[in-house]
Amino acid sequence: MLDEEIADLRNRMVDEQIAGRGIHDLAVIAAMREVPRHAFVPEHLRNDAYEDAPLPIGAGQTISQPYIVALMLEAARVGPADRLLEVGSGSGYATAVASRISARVHAIERVDSLCEEARERLVALGYADRVELRCGDGSTGWPEAAPFDAIVVSAGAPAAPEALKSQLAEGGRLVLPVGADAHSQRLVCITRRDATTFTEEALCAVRFVPLIGAQAWPDRAACERQGD
């Protein structure tokens, strides 16, 4: 496709799927008009990049549908002076969007191959200036970089990891999918009111890949290897 056609598809995506479905945060809307989602999906899926759907990116992982990316960032109330932790960077799309609306993004991706590809992609596209990305267990957060004004988790956990809650600044927001089913959850926003008090708001039903880690779902493949 020509650049003009891609820009038209991206603007239509924002008009119909983002603003048209009730997202009002102007910074989020502007960032999603800027960041080329087609550059964050496999080559053979680029014609589908601006559809309102998640897409596979390899290693059993997906890139979230555009509306959900926008909804999570809006719910996290990310501001231009905020420091944000993103858990589950995947191909780096939401990382790039978040980098346009915050002061600094610390992003974690568990799958090494996806992490390295996302790092190269963010550098090549010019989105690495406000991003620090590392490979590892996102369920335990990034304690040495805490506290964070906002934390966004792009994978479903059985409950909000205590490590992530503890790394919120007072007034900070944690947006993540939680649920007893590893493949079906509800999206919630948890706000830290003070050192020991948290409040929770339910947003909507969602379906994310499971968050694997010490404070989330176990790595079944690793467990099976240990049992051999």
Per-residue pLDDT of the chain (228 residues; tens, 9 = 90+): 668 899 999 999 999 999 999 999 999 999 999 999 999 999 999 999 999 999 999 999 999 999 999 999 999 999 999 999 999 999 999 999 999 999 999 999 999 999 999 999 999 999 999 999 999 999 999 999 999 999 999 999 999 999 999 999 999 999 999 998 877 899 999 999 999 999 999 999 999 999 999 999 998 643 333 344
Cβ–Cβ < 8 Å for 167, 147: yes
The answer to whether position 208 is within a domain reads yes
What pLDDT sits at residue 1?
64
What pLDDT sits at residue 227?
44
The answer to whether position 35 is within a domain reads no
What total of structural domains would you count in the chain? Answer: 1
By C-alpha distance, which of 60, 156, 59, 167 is closest to 112? Answer: 59
What is the enclosing helix (H) or strand (E) of 87? strand 83-87
- Beta strand 83-87 with 104-109 is parallel
- How far is C-alpha 175 from the geometric centre of its chain's CA atoms? 9
Cβ neighbours around 190 below 10 Å, total: 19
The answer to whether position 23 is within a domain reads no
The answer to whether position 7 is within a domain reads no
Alpha helices in the chain (DSSP H): 3-13, 26-34, 66-75, 93-99, 112-125, 162-166, 220-226
What pLDDT sits at residue 76?
98
* Tokens matching residue 103: 């002061």
Side-chain half-sphere of 37: how many Cα atoms within 13 Å?
A: 31
Whether the full predicted model's pTM is greater than 0.85, yes or no, is: yes
What pLDDT sits at residue 228?
42
The answer to whether position 119 is within a domain reads yes
Structural domain containing residue 210: 54-218
What pLDDT sits at residue 55?
96
Cβ–Cβ < 8 Å for 121, 133: no
65 CB-near residues (< 8 Å, 6+ apart): 17, 52, 53, 54
Residue with tokens 């909804």: 71
- Beta strand 61-63 with 55-58 is antiparallel
Q: Which of 64, 91, 102, 139 is catalytic?
A: 64
What pLDDT sits at residue 198?
98
What pLDDT sits at residue 182?
74
CA distance 191 to 130: 24
Active site residue 99: no
The answer to whether position 168 is within a domain reads yes
DSSP state of 107: E
The answer to whether position 10 is within a domain reads no
The CATH number of the domain where 117 resides is what? Answer: 3.40.50.150
DSSP state of 210: B
Residue with tokens 């915050």: 102
The answer to whether position 195 is within a domain reads yes
